[in-house]
Structure 1
């Protein structure tokens, strides 16, 4: 839907209008012809001050009182300050002389009232204009009371319509005084002055203008280099013909000027085309002057980058990207296709790779189709604006899709092709026995599976060979601390480099899910394993599954892990391995490095290899075998600090066991599988983990 909306907008933008002003005798404003246009403005006080009698004897006058960054004026009486009065002056020169006043109110913001229990009835009176903010003596004398209100906190407005209406336009400056109607009342209030940062005194005027700019409309959004229409309506609500000059200005610079004769009771609309040259914020003003008329409306408009230029730049970017990757795409796809064809000739069932192969074939063809569509439209739909060649969205979208599809296809082939090629190497002697009779003889003696150790490919020696990708499930449904805090990208990347597939689960473990995976990795759970989850895991292993389970030191070791391992011959101990001599900074961050070289699990671990470790020790009995021990300098303690294993005992930290039809590898450190300590843990532990994973799936 979003793409459709963009396309519609761009289609509309392609309709270019001729440049020049057009005068229409149309009423495009909401104001009906024959009525005046109503204007409402707030005129801030041009001057204000207050006066009082100090202790009943001394006359005082101040322009304002400052109180913690606020600027205020006083009204009322207090013990020291009597007859506090506020003076306000307003200048209405911005209102057109032809305007007719409809309503006028002086509004002040009451910030403070001393006693709410004593009502303050305040009146507004007109005064002469011969006073100054700096100092005036004597104070102006109140004349006529026009309105009175009981003060309350917040805005309070006093109606002075009759006075303003009677004096305007002959008089444009008006002064008032606010005071208690009964100045014997003991209470006072503070109102904000014009010097305050906000809530200044204002004279709110509503007036009717016989001739006015009644509306200003800009077709938005506006783009640089693309024409945009501006509509300005002028209304004459009076009974006589009026001549005015109309100005349309962009940031104060006239774009269009016209002398207009407005008939009585009519509205005319000027339509002008504007082509902005640059992006940014612009102020558009429609203004009329003449015959005592002066009125304007200003609208702020954001001009955006020309979409055609943007699409041209993106098209250029995507086309270059596609041309760089296209040779690699074609080469990879040719190798991929040839390998798939050879495998099919040999009767290999693509199995777990069937969906990937289909996806690659479909999207390679789609990539080529999108690129061909781009080439077809590139010249046919090109635009030329201001001497520049530009492209529309419809051109850009095809090369964009081709560019990213090409990348996706290359990445998928890079993942799948090594598995297909190694599978072909394994099955080719069976498919072409004359090539290697020795291999044929050896293969004919095989009744099990042919396995590609480095990528998890298994070829079943049946009527049709089937490719199988080893799948690993990592449990994160139990708030595993080290994986959630430090991550496990190193482990995942290393496993995927074997050609295996890694998935993560955040849902409770069930047998139906577990049985879909070749290996399950369960690090120390922070939340409890349910009885159903433990039963599902045990059944999964007994039925032939593979489990890599890791613990933690005594403080955080989950008791559920020993319930899970019951009867296997391996048990986590509530201990912590320590080493004062060989560690990464603290005794409880020991190194380990004594390996059982009689087990294939350790075959990838180099001689004299040291591994980072932080965790507990294991108890190994029955058919279980130890895989890794601590150094002679290592020892283990329990939660009370008691030494459980002395130095020289070389405590066991990793073990392996068969259980039912499946296999289990147990390791005392979950941290060792995480990205902790800048990835040093998993980097040093990976040779062991790699051997353990391959042993778990039977690839010895």
Structure 2
């Protein structure tokens, strides 16, 4: 009963296996005779002598001196066909004389170490014998072929390194003085030693490409030589693709390593070994033995049309090496690296590669179609276009686009610039009123005002042209001119709006301060001559004036917008690498100032155009000429914010050349705090403030700031602004404590020269975007106060 159940189960299993997966069992048998690549005897009486060139091989013990002889033979099996099954292996060695007086057994043993050669082997260097394989009895009759069955050892060596070595030894070595003389491969006679091998090779099956692919991730024919046919769909310098009809599993790549002699459209027969190369099924012609591989052009045929697929369906094993096409796709990633890019038709992405055709897409480019062979490598399926004909870029109808863009820009203009005219009217009224008070504008502000006026005129002109062409386009359908003028009006209008929004708060603030100052000087509100309300911008000279309506203004005021220069021309890490985007945004949005990042050498003529200059720790030294320019800038009224770094990177010598004369010294150390820090002692928190100084007016009493940097030493008229907590201390490069706990090391200081001003801070990191902006966000109240004080706007 059990036996019947087993038979029924076997029938059921076999019924599930496709017919093409059952491989033919027919085999071809062949016998070859291999000559040794090396043979030599060794003798213990001359243990360091090599006998590899002798025409004889000795085995046994010699009667005259009792010395022992052994002989070694080596054969190369690599000439046998791949996949051969060895059924028999016999070693043949001929002796003309035989034994002298007593028959003797000569044994053959395996030798595992194949590194010996016939030109160097001696008794002292011979490899050790391994397993006894067989024996042959040599009699006294002479003219005898010794034959040993060595099948099992040869089979194992064929399946490993394909080199096989033997040693011949007498069973009576040392006991019986019989030495057998065999012929070596150097003999002049025909009776040379050889290894006879009988093997079987499977008859090469003829299968379809679909059978090779096997509807599976790995081919059922992997490691076998097969024969198949197909139409060439692409030829490269190292192989070609063939396809059998169309549809899934119909393609395969033929790897030749060198340029094959086939053309697209050839109908070919290919015989070679199937291989899985990194999970990519291919016919490996290049590495198949020459007696088992063949490529033959049988004729020509139509190249199959590509299979049209959604992009989301391409990355499947069934389309490997098949010619496919995706349509109406858009680039979603133009650079995945290694020449790959990604497109999508809405069903999911697919990779496009430049393995066969070098092409670079544009960002968000759209394509009518992309065709190519489906490839698989490095864990990804990808389409490999073959040439320019496999890629067609989408070329839209200009007028259709113009209509769509016209509607789009019209909506954008109405939503984003609906307040532009009112904003501009407010701007012009403010400027006119300032002029009526006798206000003048510095050259930068005047240029901006003039640009706004000129650009606004152009906006109105372009919008008027748009309306004219739009009326015509509604009748003719030709929207391109209307779109062009509306686009210009929109983009220029946005620039005008942005500039007005930047300028107007400055102008309105100045106007309010002027009106407040005038009211203070009207009868009943007299003040001391030249007095300015506390909220008026410092440095604005005023004189007693009449009412503005009398058009006889007496105020002499020039409106300027403070400008900040951040130097990045000396390899500053925290500017060029970590970035200062938060700092720049805060200066522009909260203070309304202009900011520029500098990449030029620092000269006085450059610096004097800015109200505040920010220097962070430099990688490259400031030159002596630059240092003199910076000092001249400060001494002539400029504001300098200079920030250091911890001892490993701090350029204290260079910085001290700039500020040392003004009572500030940067120390080559690092502030530490074991108790109050953000995770490590060298990332301390700081929070001891000199609230009496105007720089610190925006810092709350209980405020804590992130810090990483060095300490300062102050003298002269310099005053401290920020110190470390009582638990803080500092160490130098040797780890030595140089400022002990309880000394509250100074980390920020200020000095007022009467003209220019300096704020020194021990941390460049505090100004940067580092650590998810935690440093700059906690330090901004201090930096804001420093900038205003440096610009004399405290």
Q: Is this a same-fold pair by TM over 0.5? A: yes
Structure 1: any 5+ residue segments left out of the alignment? Answer: 1-50, 74-86, 92-106, 112-151, 159-171, 178-187, 194-199, 207-222, 224-277, 284-297, 385-389
Give the whole-Å Cα distance in 2 for the aligned partners of 1:411 and 1:192. Answer: 73
Does the alignment pair 1:445 with 2:537?
A: no
TM-score normalised to structure 2 length: 0.52
Relative distance call for 1:487 and 1:307 in structure 2 (3 A) is same
Matched residue, 2:402? 311
Structure 2: any 5+ residue segments left out of the alignment? Answer: 1-26, 33-197, 213-218, 240-255, 272-288, 302-327, 329-365, 372-388, 544-553
Give the whole-Å Cα distance in 1 for the aligned partners of 2:495 and 2:412. Answer: 13
Relative distance call for 1:645 and 1:472 in structure 2 (3 A) is same
Structure 1, residues 188-244: CA drift from partner, whole Å, max 9, x if none? 836865xxxxxx6436889xxxxxxxxxxxxxxxx9xxxxxxxxxxxxxxxxxxxxx
Q: How does 1:515-534 map to 2 (within 5 A)?
A: 515-534=608-627
Structure 1, residues 431-480: CA drift from partner, whole Å, max 9, x if none? x66984466644x335xx999767x8946768742111111110111121
2:662 to 548, 562, 568: 568
Relative distance call for 1:110 and 1:424 in structure 2 (3 A) is closer
The answer on whether the counterparts of 2:516 and 2:533 sit within 8 Å (CA) in structure 1 is: no
The answer on whether the counterparts of 2:666 and 2:762 sit within 8 Å (CA) in structure 1 is: yes
Give the whole-Å Cα distance in 1 for the aligned partners of 2:236 and 2:456. Answer: 73
Cα shift at 1:598: 2.4
Cα shift at 1:299: 10
The answer on whether the counterparts of 1:543 and 1:660 sit within 8 Å (CA) in structure 2 is: no
1:649 to 738, 743, 748: 743
Structure 1, residues 311-334: CA drift from partner, whole Å, max 9, x if none? 222211110111123431111111
Matched residue, 1:484? 576
SS in 2 for 1:189: coil
The answer on whether the counterparts of 1:423 and 1:459 sit within 8 Å (CA) in structure 2 is: no
Matched residue, 2:290? 189
Q: How does 1:130-209 map to 2 (within 5 A)?
A: 154=258, 189=290, 193=294, 201-202=296-297
When structure 1 is superposed on structure 2, of 690-699 and 342-351 the one drifting more is: 690-699
Relative distance call for 1:110 and 1:625 in structure 2 (3 A) is closer
Give the whole-Å Cα distance in 1 for the aligned partners of 2:230 and 2:713. Answer: 93
Give the whole-Å Cα distance in 2 for the aligned partners of 1:533 and 1:176. Answer: 75
Relative distance call for 1:507 and 1:202 in structure 2 (3 A) is farther
Cα shift at 1:392: 2.8
Matched residue, 1:513? 606
Q: Which structure has the larger Rg over C-alpha atoms?
A: 2
The answer on whether the counterparts of 1:541 and 1:547 sit within 8 Å (CA) in structure 2 is: yes
The answer on whether the counterparts of 2:268 and 2:299 sit within 8 Å (CA) in structure 1 is: no
Relative distance call for 1:451 and 1:374 in structure 2 (3 A) is farther
Matched residue, 2:467? 375
Give the whole-Å Cα distance in 2 for the aligned partners of 1:71 and 1:453. Answer: 92
The answer on whether the counterparts of 2:268 and 2:296 sit within 8 Å (CA) in structure 1 is: no
When structure 1 is superposed on structure 2, of 457-466 and 503-512 the one drifting more is: 457-466
Matched residue, 1:267? none
Give the whole-Å Cα distance in 2 for the aligned partners of 1:405 and 1:598. Answer: 47
When structure 1 is superposed on structure 2, of 364-373 and 61-70 the one drifting more is: 61-70
1:633 to 707, 724, 727: 727
The answer on whether the counterparts of 1:634 and 1:651 sit within 8 Å (CA) in structure 2 is: yes
The answer on whether the counterparts of 1:592 and 1:610 sit within 8 Å (CA) in structure 2 is: yes
Does the alignment pair 1:608 with 2:702?
A: yes
Give the whole-Å Cα distance in 2 for the aligned partners of 1:538 and 1:308. Answer: 62
Matched residue, 2:512? 425
The answer on whether the counterparts of 2:530 and 2:541 sit within 8 Å (CA) in structure 1 is: no
Matched residue, 2:92? none
SS in 2 for 1:327: coil
SS in 1 for 2:421: helix
Does the alignment pair 1:62 with 2:204?
A: yes
Structure 1, residues 172-199: CA drift from partner, whole Å, max 9, x if none? 999999xxxxxxxxxx836865xxxxxx
The answer on whether the counterparts of 1:70 and 1:192 sit within 8 Å (CA) in structure 2 is: no
The answer on whether the counterparts of 1:429 and 1:436 sit within 8 Å (CA) in structure 2 is: no
Give the whole-Å Cα distance in 1 for the aligned partners of 2:748 and 2:781. Answer: 13
The answer on whether the counterparts of 1:450 and 1:458 sit within 8 Å (CA) in structure 2 is: no
Does the alignment pair 1:349 with 2:443?
A: no
Cα shift at 1:64: 7.2
SS in 2 for 1:486: coil
Matched residue, 2:565? 473
Give the whole-Å Cα distance in 2 for the aligned partners of 1:282 and 1:612. Answer: 54
Structure 1, residues 20-76: CA drift from partner, whole Å, max 9, x if none? xxxxxxxxxxxxxxxxxxxxxxxxxxxxxxx99944799986357999979979xxx
Matched residue, 2:24? none
When structure 1 is superposed on structure 2, of 62-71 and 505-514 the one drifting more is: 62-71
SS in 1 for 2:722: strand
The answer on whether the counterparts of 2:670 and 2:711 sit within 8 Å (CA) in structure 1 is: yes
Give the whole-Å Cα distance in 2 for the aligned partners of 1:173 and 1:645. Answer: 86
Which structure has more relative contact order (CA 8 Å, sep 6+)? It is 1
Relative distance call for 1:628 and 1:307 in structure 2 (3 A) is same
The answer on whether the counterparts of 2:269 and 2:297 sit within 8 Å (CA) in structure 1 is: no
Matched residue, 2:761? 667
Q: Considering only aligned residues, what root-mean-square deviation do their CA atoms show, in Å?
A: 4.4
Does the alignment pair 1:394 with 2:476?
A: no
Give the whole-Å Cα distance in 2 for the aligned partners of 1:88 and 1:373. Answer: 70
Give the whole-Å Cα distance in 2 for the aligned partners of 1:478 and 1:108. Answer: 51
Relative distance call for 1:528 and 1:307 in structure 2 (3 A) is same
Cα shift at 1:520: 0.8
